[in-house]
Structure 1
Amino acid sequence: MTLRKWFHFFWTTLLIGMIVSTGIGLILQFSDKEFSVMGLSAVGFNLINMILGGATISVLSQMGFFAYLIVRFIAMGLIRSKWVWDVLQVAIVVIVVFDLVYLRKTNSESSDSLLGYVILPIIVLLISLAVSYWKVKLTNKNAFIPTLFFMSAVTVLEAVPALKLDNPASSLFMLAPLFVCNAWQILTLHKILENKKS
C-alpha cells in the first residue's frame, strides 16, 4: 500500500463516516419530539456535532481495521494453521454475540424482556453475514470467516462506549457509521492492494 492509496482510503472512509452519522443523527433528532422545540439554531449546532462525531467514529473504525490487520498478521505467524485460526475467530464471534445479550441484560437496570436484548446481536450477525458473503463474491471463499470476524467482533469492540450507555439512539448513532465504514474498508481492501485473490 502506497502513501497515496492510504491517503485516498483515509479520506473516503472519513467522508463516508461523516455522511452516515449526519444522516442517522438528523433522523434521530427529528424523530425525537422533545428536541424539536429547541429551534433552528440547535439543529445547526447539532449538525456540526454530528459531522465531527462521524469523523471521530470513522477514525475509530480505521484504527480498528488496521489493528485487526496487524493482529491477524501476528496470529497467522504464531498459529500457522489456517483451520485453527478460523475456528478461533468463529468461537470469538459466538462469544461476542452471546455477550451482546448476556452482559447487556445483566448490567442493565431496567426490567426489559430478553427479546429487546436479542435484537441487536441478530442485526449485527445478519449485517456481518451479508458483508462476508459480498466479500466472498468479490474475492474468494477464504475471505468469509475473517470478514465475519471483523464485521462482528471488531465492530462490537469499537462500539463498546455507546453500548455501555444502554440507549438505543446512541447505539444506532455509533453502530451505523461503524458498520458502513468497516464494510467499506473490508470490501475495498483488495482493490487498493490490487490483488483480487488475496
Structure 2
Amino acid sequence: MNSRKVVYLFFTTLLVGSISGAIVGFILDYQVYTEGTFLNMFFGLIWLLGICAAFSLVSQMGFFAYLTVHRFGLGLFKSQKLWNYVQIIIIAFVVFDLIYFRFIAFAEPHETILHYMVMPILLLIFGLLVAYLKAKDTNQGAFIPALFFIVVITAIEWVPALTVNDPKWLWLYFTPLITANTWQILLLHRLTKPSK
C-alpha cells in the first residue's frame, strides 16, 4: 500500500464520517439549526462537520491500532484459529458489558434491562453483516477479525459518549464511528490488492 492510497483512505474516511455524523446531528437537533437566520444553520452545520470529523479521526486511530493488535494476536497465539476463538470471547464480553454495565449505571426504576439491549444487539447484527460482506469479498478467514473490529473497537471508541448516556450524544458520536469503521474495513482489501 503506497502513500497515495493511505492519503485516499484518510481523507475519504474523514469525509464519510463527518458527513454521516453531520446529517444525523442535524436531524436530531433540527429545530435548533433551522430556527433563526441562515447563518445559524450554516455555522451549526460547520460545527457538526468539525465535531464529526474529530470522531472519524478517533475511528482511524482505532483502525490502525486494531491492525497492530491483530498482528500481535496472530504472533502471540501462533494460530489464526486460536486467535479467532479469543476474539469471539472478547466480542461476547463486550456485548454483555455494553448491556449490563450501562444498565447498572444508568437504569431508572421503571426501566428493564431490555432498554439497554437494543443498541448492543443492533451493533452486533450490523457487525455480522459487515463481516459477511468482508468475508465474501476476501476470504472466510476475514469474518471474525471484521466482526471484532466493528463490535469491539467501535465500542471502545464509543466509551466517552457511553459514559455521558445522553441519547443525542450517543448517536452523534456513534454515527461517524460506525460509518468510518465500516468504510475502512470494507475498503482496505481493495486498496491493498496488487495493481494489474
Q: 2:49 aligns with which of 27, 48, 51?
A: 51
Give the alignment of 1:57-136 within 5 angstroms. Answer: 57-108=55-106, 110-111=108-109, 112-136=111-135
Alpha-carbon distance, 1:53 to partner: 1.0
- Identity fraction in percent: 40
CA RMSD of aligned residues (A): 1.5
Q: What does the per-residue CA deviation read over 1:35-56, in whole Å, with 9 as the maximum and x for residues that have no partner? A: 3685234333321111001110
Give the 3-state SS of the residue equivalent to 1:159 in structure 2. Answer: helix
CA distance in 1, matches of 2:87, 2:58: 21
Q: What does the per-residue CA deviation read over 1:71-102, in whole Å, with 9 as the maximum and x for residues that have no partner? A: 11111111111111001000000000000111
CA distance in 2, matches of 1:109, 1:127: 25
Give the 3-state SS of the residue equivalent to 2:165 in structure 1. Answer: coil
Name the counterpart of 1:182.
181
Give the alignment of 1:151-162 within 5 angstroms. Answer: 151-162=150-161
CA distance in 2, matches of 1:113, 1:38: 37
CA distance in 2, matches of 1:78, 1:127: 29
Count, aligned residues: 192
Alpha-carbon distance, 1:114 to partner: 1.5
CA contact (8 A) 2:100 2:113 kept: no
CA distance in 1, matches of 2:26, 2:36: 14
Give the 3-state SS of the residue equivalent to 2:117 in structure 1. Answer: helix
Alpha-carbon distance, 1:177 to partner: 1.3
Give the 3-state SS of the residue equivalent to 2:19 in structure 1. Answer: helix
CA distance in 2, matches of 1:128, 1:7: 26
Name the counterpart of 2:170.
171
Give the 3-state SS of the residue equivalent to 1:175 in structure 2. Answer: helix
Q: Quick check: 4-13 or 100-109, which moved more? A: 100-109
CA contact (8 A) 2:34 2:40 kept: no
Q: What does the per-residue CA deviation read over 1:121-163, in whole Å, with 9 as the maximum and x for residues that have no partner? A: 1111111011001111111111100000000000000010111
Give the alignment of 1:29-48 within 5 angstroms. Answer: 29-30=29-30, 35=32, 38-40=35-37, 41-48=39-46
